[in-house]
Amino acid sequence: MAERKKTISADSKNPLQTIINLWPYMWPEGRMDLRMRVVWASVYLLISKFVLLLVPYFFKWSIDALNGKLDMQGILPTFMIGAIALVIATNITRLLQLGLNQLRDSLFASVGQYAVRQLAFRTFVHMHQLSLRFHLERKTGGLSRIIERGTKGIETIVRFTILNTIPTFIEFLLTAIIFWRGYGFSYLAITAATVWLYIWFTVRASDWRISIRRSMNDSDTEANTKAIDSLLNFETVKYFGNEEMEARRFDQSMERYEKAATDVWTSLGWLNFGQGVIFGLGTTVMMVLSAYAVLNGKQTVGDFVFVNSLLLQLSVPLNFIGFVYREIRQGLTDIEAMFDLLEVEPEVKDAPDAVDLDISRGAIAFNDVHFAYDPARPILKGISFEVPAGKTVAVVGPSGAGKSTLSRLLYRFYDVQEGAITIDGQDVRKVTQKSLRTAIGMVPQDTVLFNDTIAYNIRYGRPGADEAAVMAAADAAQISHFIRILPEGFDTKVGERGLKLSGGEKQRVAIARTILKAPPVLILDEATSALDTTTEREIQAALDVVSKNRTTLVIAHRLSTVIGADEIIVLKSGEIAERGTHAELLARNGLYASMWDRQREATQAEEHLKQVRENDELGVVNRLAPAT
């Protein structure tokens, strides 16, 4: 990225800072409609709080009216002094407060969902900006679980922070003022002590539960990772008959999750019990004081009912404060891992002054390239060679020689540690990654397709291509005949990772989408090494069509596929051991010649075995045929 966006830090010890960092998502820039929804939702919430405080008053006045103790002259009109009118007013007030709350929730729904969408989108984009090394070291199942829980945690924090926390404290303040002005300092002191002790206990107990929740999340992530990993490797599990082993591994993770989840619910029970004891003691003391005042004629029965009603109303936000704190803390726990992902710096980033790659010829040059995935184990040790525009250069060598590393460096999945890679004289580190990868086409050894239609997977090479262009690419890749005989044709679903297609069919789809992309530079990374000899020859014919008049770098395992290359580079232990044409390398009788002889013998043995099997099958048919 040319400019790194401001990151969000999830500091579980400083939730206020995290909430401040989340403010741009609660108050989205450029969305005045959502901002106004926040404003009106807050207004309606505050009004509902004031309306709610009228309920105990109406209840008190109703009781006093029934006892003949009501003295409201000069405060309410005469027609409202009747007990029935006050009872009706009490319930109307409750309904009004309920309606205001529902209106508030309706207004804020789109704000919360917008925040969830924006953060989920940002996380998804960030995942694609991270390096190949990151994704090779992480597990897909664990990542998906982290993002899922994180987005839910964001919604919780955004909703509770904006709509509930501040108004709830306002309600506490108003309640305290009412007790102080109406009944004296002792009622205020008891209320303050009860609220403080309640909140202190809630915070301490919730902090204790955070570690339990984190343990449960870790167990859940581990179980989900193992489940997805096992299902993605379904065939391998079947090959080795290890269903029971996979089930045991999954159950072990779920056993840890079961224990942690049980601890979460048990601790919640103790938290709720402690909260009930604290509030119950405070309520008991205040009700005893009020009852004593009624017996002494200092308060009416209506006052006693008023104090009880106000305390009951106070219990709701108190319980909610505990709930809000727990949910925010748990939400912070859930999004810690997601925010950690957002804090991961991409290993490969565009330079601040990066420009788009300007392709004129497409010539590639590796100039004294050094690279190592691990500093203790160098992979490439000063590699230098060129791929002239429109020519084909093949790189061969034993496994581990560094062949595929060349394609990863050219694509900038990694950056070289020394030396440079250039295209038409432009260092690939000084151009934008998007323009670089737009100019390069890749046909890999292991083609992984999206779980969608054949047409979608071909069109992936150029998403805006029309149907005619997709069909033309399929024709060039020699797969259109196969597609047309399918019941659903181009609309046939290929299955997870393309498992409904054979290896050769998947490779042809990969070739077709590369043809559709029409890149000036082409990389063939062992594109036929996983195929049988017959299929390899058919695929190679299609690859020859793709690479014609394109600058092509071929990473090859089977030497028979690179005979026609303009130059062959032989790598050994990260260095160029030999280079030349096929004929020149055979004439030297070196490493390439020995590799050629071994592969030729293996191919001849494979073809001989195939012929023997065909003859055996023919003999069986002849023996079973009826005599004539």
Say whether pLDDT at 617 is over 50: yes
User: Any alpha helices (H) in 27-82, and if so which ranges?
Assistant: 32-66
Written as six digits, the tokens of 17 are 């800072």
For 440-462, letters b (16+ CB in 10 Å) and e give: bbbbbbebebeeebbbbbbbbbb
**If DSSP codes are grouped into helix, strand and coil, which group holds residue 179?**
helix
Summarize pLDDT for 285-299 with one digit per residue, the tens: 888 888 888 888 787
Say whether pLDDT at 142 is over 90: no
Sequential DSSP letters for 420-453: EEEETTEEGGGB-HHHHHHSEEEE-SS----SSB
pLDDT for residue 138: 64
Summarize pLDDT for 82-136 with one digit per residue, the tens: 556 666 766 777 787 777 777 877 777 777 778 778 877 888 888 877 777 777 6
Residue 28: phi and psi, rounded to 5, are -65, 130
Superfamily of domain 443-518: P-loop containing nucleotide triphosphate hydrolases (3.40.50.300)
Written as six digits, the tokens of 376 are 């203790």
CA-based nearest residue to 1, from 355, 506, 348: 348
Summarize pLDDT for 577-591 with one digit per residue, the tens: 999 999 999 999 989
User: Any alpha helices (H) in 450-590, and if so which ranges?
Assistant: 454-459, 467-476, 480-484, 503-517, 533-547, 582-588
| Predicted confidence band of residue 3 (pLDDT cuts 50, 70, 90) | very low
Residue ranges matching CATH 3.40.50.300 in the chain: 354-439+521-628, 443-518
Residue ranges matching CATH 1.20.1560.10 in the chain: 15-343
Summarize pLDDT for 511-569 with one digit per residue, the tens: 888 888 888 898 888 766 555 666 667 677 777 777 778 899 988 877 888 888 899 99
Provide, for the chain, the percentages of residues in helix, strand and coil under a 3-state DSSP scheme, each rounded to the nearest 5.
65, 10, 25
Residue 595 near residue 568 (C-beta atoms within 8 A) = no
pLDDT for residue 609: 67
Q: Measured over all CA atoms, what is the biggest interatomic distance in the chain, rounded to whole angstroms? A: 126
C-alpha to C-alpha distance for 216 and 10, rounded to whole angstroms: 19
List C-alpha distances in Å: 279 to 55, 191, 314, 325, 608: 21, 10, 10, 17, 88
Q: What number does CATH give the domain 354-439+521-628?
A: 3.40.50.300
Summarize pLDDT for 20-76 with one digit per residue, the tens: 666 777 777 778 888 888 888 778 877 877 777 777 777 677 776 766 655 554 444
Q: What number does CATH give the domain 15-343?
A: 1.20.1560.10
List C-alpha distances in Å: 625 to 311, 503, 565, 594: 97, 35, 49, 47
Q: If you ran DSSP here, which 8-state letter would residue 489 be given? A: G
Summarize pLDDT for 176-214 with one digit per residue, the tens: 888 887 787 888 888 888 888 888 888 788 777 767 777
Amino acid present at 196:
W
CA-based nearest residue to 51, from 86, 88, 85, 95: 95
